[in-house]
Structure formats: structure tokens, C-alpha cells
Amino acid sequence: MIRKIENIDQFNRFFGQPTLHPHVSVVDLGRADLSLFSPTDFGMYCVALLDTEFGEIRLRNSGISYGAGSVLTIKSGDIVSADVGTGVHPKGRMLVFRQELIADTGLGRDFHMFNFFDYDVSEALELSESERRVMLNCFANIGSELYAPDDEFTGHMLRLGIGQLLSYCRRYYDRQFDVRKLRKNDFIIKLESLLNNYIGASEMSSMLGYPTVAWCAGQFNLSPNYFGEMVKRQTHITAQEYIHGKILEKAKAMLLHSDQPVNEIAEQLGFAYSNHFTRFFRTRTGMSPSDYRKKR
């Protein structure tokens, strides 16, 4: 059975601590009631700094690789659980905050920057010791604000602290992309091979349509967001632009080096209708496929 935590007060009861703000809490994982780690939807944004390995963690039905000094980010709707080992206890810090805190604020408008909440990956964010100290300082600053007397600046200061913590998370995720991702050449070679074997070179494209970002991401066992980040960081264009560029490259070769009718080329490339292919081609080259073929 999946439990959903409805509010901050319910969350705080698992840690035996008072509710200091209706939309934000910072807790010590060492004080957690272990029943918290049964399958749970926290119903809010969560950033957990894990200072020890305490058992298998499952997020969105997948096991997560993590170690001491890892960060796990969770959003409302994610189901997370942990099989806490015998004789061990979680250690670390955890920030939770509700959507209401950031709605119609600068942090809410900039929240698209923190798309790591949507990453579907099998490993947590790993921190160096210096990065861990920075994160602990962010948790401490937010906690201090929660215990300060409430005034007109409280909400603003909490959002500043949370925004700083999330910005560091984004910086460290970007660093992890560079350090732990597939080597650039390996990734690009594999992606190019994948697209070359799909686009116009097999029955797949005519049967399934031209490749999408979601389909390509699935071949790497990555979420579309994570896949898109990798492509953009390595090619400086979006994943869709990269895929469309490969389709255009293949289309040009087929037009110049074969006598196939344009409508057959369109079908082989995965376009349901020839006029869709013509519009796609004209938008990117300024001429129709037939006019381009006349360049031979």
C-alpha cells in the first residue's frame, strides 16, 4: 500500500518535531521513524542528503545507486521506499517544501532551471566533501530561518535559501554530467549509429515514424529530460534539433543519390504524409525536395 503525506505537519510527526512553517521543513534523518521508509508519496519537493548507506532505496520502481554523501531529489507523485538494513539507521538531512511556497514568486518562475526533479536515472547525485559542506550550510541556513521569529521577510528568506540550495544541486548535477556520463565520443558515436540504423535504413521508420526524443532516450534507458540534457551539453543544440538534422542529412542523400519518388522517400523516412516531409524539408533548406533534387 502506498502512503501519501498530505501536509508538513504529518511529515514532521515522523521526526517528532514541531511544525515551524506550514510549507517548509528541514529534518535530521537520524530521528526518522523507520515506518517513513515504506512506499510513500511525499506530496511535495524533497532534497535529501544521505550521509550513510542504510539499505536499498527504490524511486519510481527502480533501485537507486547511492553512497555516503549522495543527494536524492524527489517531487510530488514520486513513490520512494527504502529497505532499511538490520542494525543501521539513516543519517543525513532532508528539506521538504510544498508548491504553495513558490507559487507566483520569482523562485516559482525560475523553477524550470531545476529540472533534475524530473530526471529518471539509476544513481543519486554524488558530492565531494567540499560540496557536501556547502550543502550542509544551505540546510543550516534554511533551518535557522525556520527557527527565527516570523516576520514579513520570512517567506522571502526561505525562498532565497531554498533557491540557493537548488542552484547548488543544479551546479553539481551539471558537474556529474561531465564526470560520470558516457564519454562524449562514445555517446555521440552510439547515438549516430542508432539514428543511421533507424532513419530510412530499415522498415522501422516507415512502420513507426521518424525517431522521437522519447524513443532515442529509451534506447539509452534514460528519461527524455536527462537524454536531452546530455545531447544539448555535448552538441549545443536540442535533442530534437539533433535528430531533425540527421533526418535532413539522410533526406538530402536520398534525393541526390537515388531516383525514388519524393513520396516514397518521405514514407521511408517515417513521414505519414508526403506534404509533411515537404514542409519539414522546405522549412530547413528554403526549397522543396524536388527543387533540391534538381541540384544533381
Q: What is the mean pLDDT of residues 4-21?
A: 95
Predicted confidence (pLDDT) at residue 106 exceeds the cutoff of 90 = yes
pLDDT of residue 190: 85
Select from 180, 199, 224 the last residue of a domain: 180
User: For residue 53, what are the domain limits?
Assistant: 3-180
Predicted confidence (pLDDT) at residue 121 exceeds the cutoff of 70 = no
Predicted confidence (pLDDT) at residue 276 exceeds the cutoff of 80 = yes
pLDDT of residue 294: 82
The more confident residue out of 81 and 122 is 81
Predicted confidence (pLDDT) at residue 24 exceeds the cutoff of 90 = yes
Select from 142, 158, 180 the last residue of a domain: 180
Same domain flag for 270 and 141: no
Same domain flag for 196 and 276: yes
Same domain flag for 139 and 224: no
Sheet strands side by side (includes 125-126): 24-28, 92-97, 45-50, 70-74, 125-126
Most confident of the ranges 52-61, 132-141, 254-263: 132-141
pLDDT of residue 202: 56
Can you state the percent helix, strand and coil of the chain, rounding each to 5? Answer: 55, 15, 30
Q: Any idea which residue has 556529474 for its cell?
A: 176
Same domain flag for 16 and 93: yes
Same domain flag for 284 and 165: no
Chain centre distance of CA 164: 19
Same domain flag for 172 and 263: no
Predicted confidence (pLDDT) at residue 182 exceeds the cutoff of 60 = no
User: Contact at 8 Å (CB) between 61 and 80?
Assistant: no
DSSP string for residues in 50-114: E-S--EEEEETTEEEB--TTEEEEE-TT-EEEEEEPTT----EEEEEE-HHHHTTSHHHHTGGGG
Which of 65, 69, 174 has the alpha carbon at shortest distance from 132? 69
Same domain flag for 175 and 192: no
| Cα 138 to Cα 148: distance, rounded to the nearest angstrom | 16
| Cα 59 to Cα 56: distance, rounded to the nearest angstrom | 10
Which of 244, 190, 187 has the alpha carbon at shortest distance from 213? 244
Q: What is the mean pLDDT of residues 193-202?
A: 79
CATH number, domain of 190, equals: 1.10.10.60
CATH number, domain of 46, equals: 2.60.120.280
Instruction: Write the CB contacts of 87 (distance below 8 Å, at least 6 apart in sequence).
Output: none
pLDDT of residue 220: 80
pLDDT of residue 97: 97
Same domain flag for 109 and 242: no
Q: What is the mean pLDDT of residues 55-84?
A: 87
Predicted confidence (pLDDT) at residue 140 exceeds the cutoff of 60 = yes
pLDDT of residue 185: 59
Tens-place pLDDT, residues 212-261 = 998 888 888 777 877 887 888 788 899 999 999 999 999 999 888 888 89
CA distances from 67 to 51, 110, 174 (A): 8, 30, 19
User: Contact at 8 Å (CB) between 196 and 216?
Assistant: no
Tens-place pLDDT, residues 147-180 = 999 999 999 999 999 999 999 999 988 877 665 5
Same domain flag for 226 and 110: no
Same domain flag for 170 and 196: no
Same domain flag for 40 and 141: yes
Please compute, for residue 203, the number of CA atoms within 13 A of its CA located in the half-sphere on the CB side: 0
What whole-number percentage of the chain has pLDDT above 70?
93
pLDDT of residue 10: 96
Select from 180, 204, 237 the last residue of a domain: 180
Same domain flag for 125 and 192: no
Strand-pair category, 79-84 with 40-41: antiparallel
Side chain identity, residue 175: R
pLDDT of residue 188: 80
Helix (H) or strand (E) holding 48: strand 45-50
Q: What is the mean pLDDT of residues 78-98?
A: 88
Long-range CB contacts (< 8 A, 24+ apart) of 134-138? 134/168, 135/49, 135/71, 135/165, 135/168, 135/169, 136/49, 136/93, 138/164, 138/165, 138/168
User: How many domains does the chain contain in total?
Assistant: 2
| Cα 10 to Cα 146: distance, rounded to the nearest angstrom | 17
